[in-house]
Amino acid sequence: MKRVILVGFMGCGKSTLGKKLAKRLSIPFLDSDEEIEKGVLMSVGEIFGAHGESRFREIETEFIETLFDEGDFVLATGGGMPCFNKNMESLNKLGTSFYLERSPKELAHRLRNAKTQRPLISGLSDEDLLSFIEEKLSEREEAYKQATFVLSREEQTPEHIESLILLLQKG
């Protein structure tokens, strides 16, 4: 069974890489935020606004449970998913996880024009964005680093991930 789980901070490129990887492996691609939005017929921003972050985190945990009934997939997780409710443990039971490591500066650069859809950063100025990322990333890294593989920027390619999966399957 090929279940591949990409974790990492907002803006690290989970969805972009995930789509390419799914294509290469010829398996479905799932984006946890999109699946949750389809399930509750609300955007992530609306869920945060109407029910608060804690309800969103419960929904994320419930969503992970549904994936144990699925076959092969590449999953791009929401940036906070691994950091609540022992979700990282569940994700590791589900399949092979990869942490896409990026520096705070790089993340800030990548997120500068992608704040609106993300309730945690939508109200931040560019100056505050970097300090927010530094602080949150340092809190979250412990969870992210429980991933099966930690990938540096250069290693974040579909080819490299495929070769690691093949290695695991042989071993």
Which one of 101, 118, 130, 151 is in contact with ligand S3P (CB under 6 A)?
118
Name the residue nearer to ligand S3P (CB basis): 80 or 95.
80
The rounded distance, in Å, linking the Cα atoms of 32 and 81 is 9
Which one of 21, 25, 73, 79 is in contact with ligand S3P (CB under 6 A)?
79
Name the residue nearer to ligand S3P (CB basis): 112 or 166.
112
- Total number of residues binding ligand S3P (CB under 6 A)? 9
If binding is defined by CB under 6 A, does position 95 make contact with ligand S3P?
no
Give CA separation, 138 vs 15, 50, 80, 102, in Å. Answer: 22, 28, 13, 12
The rounded distance, in Å, linking the Cα atoms of 151 and 98 is 7
Least distance in Å: CB of 111 to ligand S3P? Answer: 8
The rounded distance, in Å, linking the Cα atoms of 7 and 88 is 9
The rounded distance, in Å, linking the Cα atoms of 109 and 116 is 15
Site residues, ligand S3P (CB under 6 A):
10, 33, 44, 78-80, 118-120
